[in-house]
Amino acid sequence: MNTEFDIVFLIRVNNIGGSEKHTISWINYLLKSGKRIGLIQSGLNMVEYGISSNRRNLKIITTDLPIRELTIVHCMKWYKLFQLMPSAQIVWVKPWYFAGHFPFILMVRNCYQFFAVIEHSLPEKVPCRLKRYYFGLIPRPEFWWHRQKFYRRFLSLFPDHIFCVSEASKLILTAADLIPRKKISVCPNGLDTQYWHRNKDSRICFRKKIGIPDDWYLFGWVGRMVELKQVEIAIRALSLIIKKDDHLNCGLLLVGEGPEQKRLECMVKEEGVLKHVFFTGFLYDPRPAYSAMDTFLLPSKFESFPLVLLEAMACGCSAISANVGDANKLISDPSLGCIIDGYDIEKWKMQMCAFLEKSSMEIKEISKLAQQHVQKFHNQTEQMRLFNKVLFGKNKKNINNV
């Protein structure tokens, strides 16, 4: 087999989030080590967001071909495209059995010897089997349930290995033996701690630019403004705090954009906290925003491994998070922040008030501990080593020992 590239990455880019950032970091890491990388991207161009495109050992193909509901023409074009990226192995980034169509997965399987998948999200759980009866006596077979289970189990046979970025994702994937445990490695996201760090000068400049008083306590959120992120919880909790004391020096910084933005802007006006909430839109480099924050909020409904939470902590933020994905492993000590079970606005308000009552010395100490925690347990170099051991190890048959 012609192996022009050491590895090929395949990714559909809808927006730049945690999985895309992780892929960019991984590719750059491999490029620096001298690996020959092929990248097949669909959607947004990741070169604009940080991939080192000027390197000779990188080839990028951008396509608008779909990966679902493929026609014969689509299949032929995909096959030709894969021939332009010869390699012994390919990594498909993002959810796999929900992102692809069977003919597409079959083509990937046939074109590459080693087919790996990296699962960044929490896949939907297998639906519960309904207990229904004919005439109240004879159990109904529920063919739809068996068909869906069979389809998922069938697709799980094709990848050679699956990387999960969280234990929560692994638990769902292995539920009811959906995927054999020997095929899965948990490799959490990591950060380049030399890049992600708190900067006092950036904090001052950013606050001045946005119009946030330097003596205000600032809560923050970063991400794509979509329904499942539940940004309204942060807004309503702040509203309850402000209504109790209108002269309180605190605010909420919202970094990002998305379909929910206009609704959230209207909510801010309705809640009467217009002077306390600051929208910045999308920021290519959110580090100054993180540095400007004191406490990061993560009220998401679904997360696997919340990379934004890791970024915020690396930049010295304490954290308040919903109990989603592996958030409880990131905030593993009460000194770093707190985990809230559920989405009761009063609970969120109480935890936010608890941080407002802390002294400046306590805030500085929490900031220091958060940065040290990320440096010690979530260093990117160590996490990349786990991926590389599977993909470039001498004996891939022992991948379940990683």
Q: How far is CA 229 from the centre of its chain?
A: 12
| Mean of all residue pLDDT scores within the chain | 86
Where in the chain are the domains? 7-190+380-401, 200-377
For residues 143 and 400, the model is more confident at 143
The stretch 334-338 carries a mean pLDDT of 90
Query: Where does the pLDDT of residue 383 fall: very low under 50, low under 70, confident under 90, or very high at 90 and above?
Result: confident
The span from the CA of 193 to the CA of 196, in Å, is 5
Residue 134 banded pLDDT, cuts 50, 70, 90 = low
338-371 pLDDT, tens per residue?
999 999 999 999 999 999 999 989 999 999 999 9
Given CATH 2.30.42.10, say whether it is the number of domain 200-377. no
Neighbours of 125 (CB within 10 A): 11
Higher-pLDDT residue of 339 and 151 is 339
Q: Which two tokens stand for residue 348?
A: 């969120």
pLDDT at 333 over 60: yes
Other residues' Cβ atoms within 10 Å of the Cβ of residue 214: 10
**pLDDT per residue over 303-331, tens digit each?**
888 889 999 999 999 999 999 988 988 89
pLDDT at 399: 43
Measured between alpha carbons, how far is 7 from 194 in angstroms, rounded to an integer?
26
For 84, the enclosing helix (H) or strand (E) is: none
pLDDT at position 142 over 80:
no
The fraction of the chain above a pLDDT of 90, given in percent, is 49
pLDDT number for residue 303: 86
What is the arithmetic mean of pLDDT over 248-264? 95
- For residue 400, is pLDDT > 50? no
**Does 287 score more than 90 pLDDT?**
yes
Residue 299 has pLDDT above 50, yes or no: yes
Q: Which pLDDT score is estimated for 165?
A: 85
The single-letter DSSP state of residue 242 is H
Which pLDDT score, from 0 to 100, does residue 402 have? 41
pLDDT of residue 61: 92
As a whole number of angstroms, the distance between CA 385 and CA 390 comes to 9
User: Across the chain, how many H-helices and E-strands are there?
Assistant: 14, 15
Of 286, 271, 277, nearest to 240 by C-alpha is 271
Predicted confidence at residue 401, as pLDDT, reads: 42
Q: What is the pLDDT of residues 219-251, one digit of tens each?
A: 999 999 999 999 999 999 999 999 888 778 999
Q: Helix 345-356 to helix 231-244 angle, to the nearest 10 degrees? A: 60
Tally the residues of the chain: 402
Mean pLDDT of 163-183: 79
Dihedral angle at the C-alpha atoms of 26, 29, 31, 33, nearest 10 degrees? -140
Rounded-to-integer distance, Cα 253 and Cα 231, Å:
11
Among 54-68, 314-328, 364-378, 381-395, the minimum mean pLDDT is found in: 381-395
Q: What pLDDT does residue 335 have?
A: 87
pLDDT over threshold 70, residue 397: no
Strands 250-255 and 277-281 come out as parallel
Is the fold of 7-190+380-401 the same as that of 200-377?
A: yes
- What is the topology classification, in CATH, of domain 7-190+380-401? Rossmann fold (3.40.50)
Instruction: Identify which has the larger pLDDT, 238 or 148.
Output: 238
